[in-house]
Amino acid sequence: MLLVACAFAVLLLMGMPVAFAIGISGALFFIQHPELPFTIPIQQTVSQTQNFALLAIPLFIMAGNFMNKSGITEELLNLASVIAGRLKGGLAQVSVVLSGLMGGVSGSAIADAAMQSRMLGPEMIARGLSRGFASGVLSFGSVLTPIIPPGLGFIIYGTIGQVSIGRLFAAGFVPAFLLWLALAGTISFVARKRGYPAVRDTRPSLRETALALRGGIWALMFPFILLFGLRFGIFTPSEIGAFAVIYAMFIGVAIYRKLKSRPFMEALEGTLVDIGSVMFLIALSAVFSYGIVLERIPEVISGAMLGLTDNLYSVMTLIAVLILIAGFFIDATVLIIMLTPIFLPLIRQLGGDPVHFGVVFVLAATIGNFTPPVGAAMYAVCSVMKVPIGEYTRESIPLFTAVCLVTLALVFAPDLVLWVPNKFFGY
């Protein structure tokens, strides 16, 4: 497996698409083992696509694209302005709140960052924010999006690790709130030092608040509908994905009346591209994972870590740090797919809760989307904002620090993570 890992790293450094890098390096394992039937890589790839639980992924991707085309983003932006408009930092604070509200719409940090860069980026610059800091806020603020249901990272982790997706969805609310507090505090601190103004000077009127809530209520209801459907056994995760598509189409057609033929086709086209890239990656990862299981890599890594310490929190901290470092070079989705089968058995062996670990794991992996050299959200924001990577990196250090501290703090606060799922789903 050492040769396989080296080949994977080399292919990534050469700029090869991640899915092909995984598939090719995984195939090298079978070349090293001619005694294995040559049909196994094909069987593994095909069988991975037949996993019924994975049906939730394309369905939630489709629902997110329909929601984005329904006109709900503008309503959420208005609601975010009402909530955070008076905070120091102005549109930077509004952007972070909008990312939290968008969690129930897109579920993708990259999509949220790209969308907000086009919507809010130019206005943030016009209001005096530096390009680097504005880009950092737009990028790191989207860390809230995959933590709030229906985050795709939770679906992938839950499917691979056989962990309750409903409990994972519920577990994301408190960490998302803590992340918002950390980011809002950091933005406020920077804004006071630099004199960035608030968006509004007066409190919103009761009527204005009511109108903003009415406009965004359909998006706000979505995560809670998902949780109630899963809690009371109305839907399985796959079935609730289908419901999400119907719900998004209903909002777009009947409520906001913006999901007409052209936006509908654009949403379908975007869905095909997104599903193709994600599912192709998941399918080829099965070839790579076969070698990991056959070589007993999880047991080897578990033994090495337990040789250092057998304390659950120390092991989780070590894993979180390793994932944060790996995220500098490897996409979050790839990390979740490749490392869940390795680290989750170790956490279970030590008596850790897989939901608690899942939140820490997905959050740590997601941070890699915002950091050089391969952060997809970072590149999306910087390309729209026309900001050099160096300037973005320098101005994002306070935001990066805040997000990492919350992630590491969650390791030692399982009760905070598990409070909502335990109350909602029971112990």
Residue-wise pLDDT tens digits, 284-305: 877 777 777 677 676 777 777 7
Peptide bond into 373 cis (omega under 30): yes
Is 318 inside a domain boundary?
yes
What's the confidence (pLDDT) of residue 106? 64
Same domain? For 115 and 13 the reply is no
Is residue 46 included in any domain, yes or no?
no
Residues 23 and 59 occupy one common structural domain: no
Share of the chain above pLDDT 70, in %: 95
Q: Does the structure show a pLDDT above 70 at 427?
A: no
Indicate whether 282 and 397 sit together in one domain.
yes
Residue 132: inside a domain, yes or no? yes
pLDDT tens track for 112-159: 787 778 778 887 888 788 888 989 998 898 888 888 887 788 888 988
Number of structural domains (the chain) is 2
Please, how many CA atoms are within 13 Å of residue 322, restricted to the half-sphere of its CB? 14
Q: Which residues contact 269 (CB under 8 A, 6 or more apart)?
A: none
Kindly indicate the confidence band of residue 65, based on its pLDDT and cuts at 50, 70 and 90: confident
Same domain, 159 and 27: no
Q: How confident is the model at residue 399 (pLDDT cuts 50, 70, 90)?
A: very high
390 and 281 fall within a common domain: yes
Position 104 confidence tier, pLDDT thresholds 50, 70, 90: low
- How does pLDDT run across 35-52, given as a tens digit for each residue? 888 788 888 787 777 766
Asked if pLDDT for residue 72 goes beyond 80, the answer is no
**What rounded mean pLDDT belongs to the chain?**
82
- Asked if residue 43 is part of any domain, the answer here is no
Confirm whether 417 is domain-assigned: yes
pTM for the complete prediction?
0.82
64, 31: one domain: no
- Asked if residue 230 is part of any domain, the answer here is yes
361 and 418 together in one domain: yes
Let me know whether 106 and 69 are in one domain.
Answer: yes
Q: Above 90 in pLDDT, residue 409?
A: yes
- Specify whether 261 is located in the same domain as 398: yes
| Residue 122 shares a structural domain with residue 146 | yes
The reply to whether 45 falls in a domain is no
Give 141 or 222, the one with higher predicted confidence.
141
- Is 243 domain-assigned? yes
The residue segments making up the domain with residue 29 are 1-38
* Per-residue pLDDT at 234: 80
Are 150 and 69 within one domain?
yes
209 lies in the same domain as 284: yes
